[in-house]
Amino acid sequence: MSEIIKMNFKIDNLNLIFGITGILLTALTMSLARLSIKTKRKEYYLLNFIYILSFLIVIFSRRWLILLIGWEMVSVSTSLMLLWKGRGLAGQYFIVQFLGSSILLYAILLAINAGYSEIMPIKEVWLQNLLILGLGMKSAIFGLHFWLPPVHSQAPVPVSAVLSGWVVKLGFITYLKIIPEGSNLLLILGFLMVFYGGIKALLAIDYKVLLAYSSISQLGYIAIGIGSGVSYAYLGSILHIIAHGLAKTALFLTNGCLIEEYGSRCIYDFKDAWQRQTVSCLSIIISFSSLMGIPLLAGYNSKHLIKHGIDSGQFFSILLFISSLLTALYALRFLYWGIFRDLLARRQRESGRARNKYQLRKFEYLSLFIIIVLLLTVGFYGELIVKIIKDIDFRYNFKTGFLEVIFYLLPAVFILKVFNCFEIKKQQTPSLDILFNRVNRYLDKLGRYLYNLIYKDFQYQLLWIPLFLIFLLYWELVFH
């Protein structure tokens, strides 16, 4: 039995770190179930356990076909979780992931045919690029990210937390194994993700949509670190998978609390949030601070490693500065509208406390406390985690880190002041319905065209049967 496990699964420090992190994040998201999952909670919890088993298979698998099985189990389990929102959204998500899995299956078969029977570093650039596309659908790589904002904005809060906190990381965990020496395609896509996601998050007024585009932007940093092919940046990507997972889980947990409190997802509606949801607001501030790369928090360590690794020229330095500025802009914009607006104006609504509609439960307090402690722990002791993976001579300079942060925080505050914190009145919620309706119309037109083109030449539909049999016979004779 142990030999079979060793042949098919790889148990090392890196995989153990990812496995433990994934289990922890999933357990923390389960505290959100009572907010959005009103019926059949036992079935929902069962799906979570199946999902945990699925992503553990993906993380620890040595062989491509086993990874593909785990990959499909993740797709099926998360699709079933979306049923609590509705069959339409669940079906759309499953179809999108099925298309991505089809590309991945094709890439895996080519990899096996090329001699890569196990998951290992891929030398051929064309095969790397094909696997990037195959894994990219679930990981919301730029160009294949179209599903993430609509699904996140409509999914139940705990499912959004699962998708953003860990599901989208699984592709990047596989990238770490197959592209250790870097990829130009992944590097370019990473920068596109950072800028596109950051700009869309900056202009979002729906909190869940903001978090969705923020995920795309933050995933871009992971792609940059892996694509650079530099050891420090590679290790930074590993840390950022953990740091972003923790921060985004906390943000979605508090997002559910704010939605219950205000009955709205619009960031302008969060009046007197500090007075009404103090613990949630404190968690939001710490989580966004981590995403901005504030020293003493996990996000600083990961981003510092990534920047240190690829800071090899003026061009990349400018790109990284702009990316940091963009992250600060959308994070500070939300913190202003969602939390600090009333505090800065020295206004406190008399009914703020009285109108408190939602009280955090003990398990939710515990979940937020655990996340905050972990963000601080990884922030202070990130070097230890890095050395578990690879022994490198590198230490963080927090004084220099604070100076770097001030260098892009001050311009961000100035820009927000000039543009009135980008106050936008109306915005359409992202939806996959538009895409699927358009595809359905094209398929309907194509079906009618083929029907009119072919069927009119036949008097009876039964004539299709011998035609189909003749085609099968021809295929058998020619190709076999």
Torsion angles phi and psi, residue 61, rounded to 5: -65, 140
- What tokens does 410 get? 């001050």
326 with 439, same domain: the answer is: no
Please report whether residue 175 resides in a domain. no
Q: How far apart are CA 448 and CA 376, in angstroms?
A: 61
The pLDDT tens digits of the residues spanning 265-303 come to: 899 988 888 888 889 999 999 999 999 999 989 999 999
- CA dihedral of residues 436, 154, 299, 50 (deg, nearest 10): -90
pLDDT band at 354 (very low <50, low <70, confident <90, very high): very low
Average pLDDT over residues 365-381: 91
Do 68 and 77 touch, CB atoms closer than 8 A?
A: no
| C-alpha neighbours within 13 Å on the C-beta side of residue 280 | 26
More confident residue, 17 or 260: 17
Please name the helix (run of DSSP H) or strand (run of DSSP E) that holds residue 367, with its range, or none. Answer: helix 362-380
The pLDDT tens digits of the residues spanning 169-188 come to: 999 999 999 998 889 999 99
Beta-carbon contacts of 421 under 8 Å, excluding residues fewer than 6 positions away, are 333, 336, 337
140 with 267, same domain: the answer is: no
Torsion angles phi and psi, residue 285, rounded to 5: -60, -45
Do 252 and 280 touch, CB atoms closer than 8 A?
A: no
104 with 141, same domain: the answer is: yes
The pLDDT tens digits of the residues spanning 51-82 come to: 999 999 999 999 999 999 999 999 999 999 99
Q: What is the pLDDT of residue 478?
A: 58
Q: What is the pLDDT of residue 468?
A: 66
Please report whether residue 356 resides in a domain. yes
- Last residue of one domain, picked from the residues 431, 449, 466: 431
Please report whether residue 312 resides in a domain. yes
Please report whether residue 174 resides in a domain. no
Q: How far apart are CA 325 and CA 331, in angstroms?
A: 10
Q: What is the pLDDT of residue 350?
A: 45
121 with 227, same domain: the answer is: no
Q: What is the pLDDT of residue 272?
A: 85
The pLDDT tens digits of the residues spanning 111-143 come to: 999 989 899 999 999 999 999 999 998 889 998
251 with 288, same domain: the answer is: yes
Instruction: Count how many domains the chain has.
Output: 3
More confident residue, 235 or 440: 235
- Last residue of one domain, picked from the residues 137, 163, 189: 163
193 with 214, same domain: the answer is: yes
Per DSSP, the three-state class of 166 is: coil
Do 288 and 335 touch, CB atoms closer than 8 A?
A: yes
381 with 333, same domain: the answer is: yes
The amino acid at 341: R
pLDDT band at 352 (very low <50, low <70, confident <90, very high): very low
Q: How far apart are CA 474 and CA 471, in angstroms?
A: 5
83 with 209, same domain: the answer is: no
pLDDT band at 21 (very low <50, low <70, confident <90, very high): very high
Distance of CA 32 to the CA centre of its chain: 18
DSSP letter string over 402-423?
HHHHHHHHHHHHHHHHHTGGG-
Could you give the C-alpha distances from 266 to 208, 210, 263, 368, 428, in angstroms and in order?
Answer: 9, 10, 9, 22, 12
The pLDDT tens digits of the residues spanning 446-463 come to: 777 766 666 555 444 555
The amino acid at 309: G
324 with 444, same domain: the answer is: no
Q: How far apart are CA 459 and CA 209, in angstroms?
A: 54
Q: How far apart are CA 332 and CA 13, in angstroms?
A: 36
Q: What is the pLDDT of residue 360?
A: 79
Please report whether residue 334 resides in a domain. yes
115 with 155, same domain: the answer is: yes
327 with 375, same domain: the answer is: yes
Q: Pick the range with the lowest mean pLDDT from 77-81, 216-220, 249-253, 394-398.
A: 394-398
287 with 319, same domain: the answer is: yes
Q: Pick the range with the lowest mean pLDDT from 128-132, 317-321, 330-334, 350-354.
A: 350-354
Residue 351: pLDDT above 50?
no
- Last residue of one domain, picked from the residues 108, 136, 163: 163
| C-alpha neighbours within 13 Å on the C-beta side of residue 49 | 6
Do 106 and 133 touch, CB atoms closer than 8 A?
A: no
Angle between helices 382-389 and 298-310 (to 10 degrees): 50
pLDDT band at 426 (very low <50, low <70, confident <90, very high): confident
The amino acid at 393: D
Beta-carbon contacts of 349 under 8 Å, excluding residues fewer than 6 positions away, are 271, 272, 275, 342
Average pLDDT across the chain, whole number: 86
Tokens 């505290």 belong to: 31
Residue 349: pLDDT above 70?
no
Residue 194: pLDDT above 70?
yes
Q: What is the pLDDT of residue 196?
A: 96
Please report whether residue 224 resides in a domain. yes
Q: How far apart are CA 475 and CA 469, in angstroms?
A: 10
Please report whether residue 168 resides in a domain. no
Owning domain of residue 461: 434-479
Please report whether residue 170 resides in a domain. no
Q: How far apart are CA 126 and CA 111, in angstroms?
A: 11
